[in-house]
Structure 1
Amino acid sequence: MDALFDLPEVEAPEQAVIAHYRLSDDEYGSPAEREAIYDAERLMTTAVEAAGVGEVDGNEFGGGEAVLYAYGADAEALFKVMEPTLRSLPFRPAHVVLRRESRETDSRVDL
């Protein structure tokens, strides 16, 4: 067998969009705040899948903060699809980290 055909496929480096929102208390926020995050996550999942730019991978609540995670091959393209929904959430302060191949190229966007 020819060794060239046995090489594993090389995947593109995974990039990320990580959105951070301050909630109304020091724990998990109110039920209405959590529901707003869940609704936004569902909207972004649909938009990101339709655009074919990656996947929304979930959320995390705690310490008075909600964090949303999304991954794809291009953080800029992923953020462009997610941005309208991310900006529509009323919680402030808020920011997004665009994580690229290396942490030296990460950038922060205030919402």
Structure 2
Amino acid sequence: MEEHAVIVNFDYGSTDLGALFEVETRLEEAIAAADVGDYDGNEIAVDGSDGTLFMYGPDADALFAAVRETLLKSACLSNVRVSLQYGPVDDDDVRRTEFALKE
């Protein structure tokens, strides 16, 4: 099975991660309901200024479709930028699509 990725970079602006953890729960639920992959976790700056979310599955487009609305409706995330990777993340030759999802 080929591994694709959806990597989401965002601005957060707080050291209180409660709202982010709620978003992660909704992402996990959406991915499981659509059966399109796995939510792998986050990296968040120590000062809470920004972060990254990591999701993996066999089809980056299907995975993004499953989480798109959750990301759009998450008020705690701003300046959301998405990278869809159509192959292993450590392969520099895979096709990537990057775009801004919301300000």
TM-score by length of 1: 0.76
- Root-mean-square deviation (CA, aligned residues, Å) is 1.6
Structure 1 or 2: more strand by fraction: 2
TM-score for the superposition, normalised by structure 2: 0.81
- Could you tell me which runs of 5 or more consecutive residues in structure 1 were left unpaired when the two chains were aligned: 1-11
Work out whether 1:74 is the aligned partner of 2:59.
yes
1:14 aligns with 2:21: no
Q: Number of paired residues? A: 94
Unaligned 5+ runs, structure 2: none
Aligned counterparts of 2:74 and 2:82: Cα–Cα separation in 1: 12
Cα drift, residue 109 of structure 1: 2.4
Separation of aligned partners in 1, 2:19 and 2:45 = 15
Using the aligned pairs only, state the percent identity.
30
Query: Which of these residues, 19, 32, 37, is aligned with residue 54 of structure 1?
Result: 37
Moved over 3 A (4+): none
Give, in angstroms, the shift of residue 92 of structure 1: 2.2
| CA distances 1:6-56 after superposition (whole Å, capped 9, x unpaired) | xxxxxx2100111111122xxxx231xx22211111111111112110010
1:87 partnered with 2:72: yes
Aligned counterpart, 2:96: 106
